[in-house]
């Protein structure tokens, strides 16, 4: 079946044919030529490459262009293009250091092993799909990691198509399991124990945990807070930055603290705070720039270590630091905060994220509903027993 308007058709022998026009110097006019392949994408790519080569060299005949199309890309390896692409991305001021590191890790951990020594002329759609599918089948990776691999792969293929005379396919990732695991939170009993501990002999690390429980901050946002971010008159906390530990370029083990803008533009937000928290926070105020780190941001690793220590002292089973944020969000939902307001308080990019994560009642809330239902049934049963007597 032909592709309307593209001069591409499937022949009766099963092959695909793509037509193009070329100027015949001997006849002094344009004539039609064909290129053949096993798939629609293959002939479309071949034709585009031939046309590209013809346009860029008026002395070449179409037959020479076909030969060059077959031979010019054999020596260009995927790893060469990928490393060129990585250099290009580093020059993009719009990309965060953490994003650049993620790209690099995905390439070196997954794509280099699978495609590194493969030449560009081999990267047909079927070949790429088969290779990446086989690789992912042999490793256990989170859904987001797999999405990241497809994202980086397609960006490299797109870069190759702009840098070299070749049109490479965009690989559609398969549908992943969209089941969202319920977020873990501290139970009401655990929250009670934790709050008692945090308010007792409060130090700077306990204060940081309290702030997370009352503002739903991420750990990087907490560790990078400055005194200038606190508006004590209006009782507002402004989130302007985050900090994380990233690998230093050229080292596999050496890391450094990197302060950047928050996770997304939506993460830059204002959060109202209770007056009691503002007052408690100002008790720690000094002439240093950062609230919890002094002259520099607090290292998230240091914060996590103190967090683990406090949980152990209180006798609470370990949950990640992010559980404080999940607990804050869940408490907001159960307290009647509307979805749009909660979305902005958490710094989510869309209400959909908030709905998917937090619009699920906790076990304590479910238990209260069940207890109310039991009381309702008991009331009905008591009324009926009274009528029967």
> So what's the pLDDT on residue 27?
67
Overall size of the chain counted in residues: 389
Single out the residue of 223, 214, 209 nearest to residue 302, CA to CA: 223
Single out the residue of 47, 78, 295, 322 nearest to residue 184, CA to CA: 322
Single out the residue of 227, 99, 196 nearest to residue 152, CA to CA: 99
> So what's the pLDDT on residue 163?
78
Q: Give the CA angle between residues 355, 361, 366 to the nearest 5°.
A: 160
Q: Is 175 in contact with 79 (CB distance < 8 Å)?
A: no
CB atoms within 10 A of CB 217: 24
pLDDT less than 70: residues of the chain: 1-5, 23-28, 53-73, 165, 176-181, 248-253, 359-364, 384-389
Q: Is 279 in contact with 163 (CB distance < 8 Å)?
A: no
Q: Is 116 in contact with 122 (CB distance < 8 Å)?
A: no
> So what's the pLDDT on residue 60?
45
Note the pTM of the prediction, 2 decimals: 0.64
Rounded CA-CA distance 321/325 in Å is 8
Q: At what angle do helices 351-358 and 323-334 cross, to 10 degrees?
A: 90
In tens, the pLDDT along 47-75 reads: 887 777 666 654 444 555 555 544 456 77
Give one word for 247, left, alpha or beta, with left for phi > 0 and alpha for psi -120 to 50.
beta
> So what's the pLDDT on residue 253?
60
> So what's the pLDDT on residue 230?
95
In tens, the pLDDT along 282-309 reads: 999 999 999 999 999 999 999 999 999 9
């Amino acid at each position: 079946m032909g592709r309307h308007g593209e001069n591409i058709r499937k022949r009766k022998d099963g092959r695909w044919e793509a037509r193009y026009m070329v100027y015949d110097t001997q006849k002094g006019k344009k004539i039609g030529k064909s290129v053949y392949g096993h798939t629609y994408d293959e002939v479309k790519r071949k034709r585009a490459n031939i046309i590209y080569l013809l346009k860029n060299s008026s002395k070449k005949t179409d037959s020479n262009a076909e030969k060059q199309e077959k031979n010019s890309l054999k020596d260009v390896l995927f790893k060469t293009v990928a490393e060129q692409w990585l250099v290009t991305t580093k020059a993009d001021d719009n990309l965060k250091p953490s994003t650049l590191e993620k790209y690099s890790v995905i390439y070196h951990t997954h794509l280099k092993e699978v495609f590194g020594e493969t030449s560009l002329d081999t990267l047909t759609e079927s070949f790429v799909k088969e290779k990446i599918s086989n690789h992912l089948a042999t490793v256990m990776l989170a859904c987001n990691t797999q999405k990241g691999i497809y994202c980086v792969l397609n960006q490299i293929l797109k870069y190759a198509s702009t840098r070299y005379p070749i049109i490479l396919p965009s690989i559609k990732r398969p549908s992943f399991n969209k089941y969202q695991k319920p977020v873990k939170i501290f139970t009401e009993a655990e929250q009670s124990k934790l709050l008692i501990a945090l308010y007792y002999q409060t130090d700077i690390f306990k204060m940081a945990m309290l702030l997370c429980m009352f503002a739903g901050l991420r750990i990087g946002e907490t560790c990078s807070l400055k005194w200038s971010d606190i508006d004590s008159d209006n009782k507002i906390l402004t989130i302007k930055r985050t900090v994380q530990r990233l690998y230093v370029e050229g080292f596999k083990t050496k890391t450094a603290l990197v302060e950047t803008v928050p996770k997304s533009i939506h993460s830059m937000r204002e959060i109202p705070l209770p007056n009691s928290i503002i007052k408690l926070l100002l008790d720690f105020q000094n002439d240093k720039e950062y609230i919890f780190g002094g002259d520099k941001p607090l290292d998230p690793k240091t914060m996590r270590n103190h967090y683990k220590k406090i949980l152990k002292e209180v006798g609470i089973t370990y949950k990640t630091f992010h559980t404080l944020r999940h607990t804050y969000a869940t408490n907001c939902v159960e307290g009647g905060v509307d979805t749009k307001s909660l979305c902005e308080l958490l710094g989510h990019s869309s209400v959909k994220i908030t709905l998917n994560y937090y619009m699920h009642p906790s076990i304590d809330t479910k238990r209260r509903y069940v207890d109310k239902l039991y009381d309702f049934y008991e009331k009905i049963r008591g009324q009926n027993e009274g009528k029967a007597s």
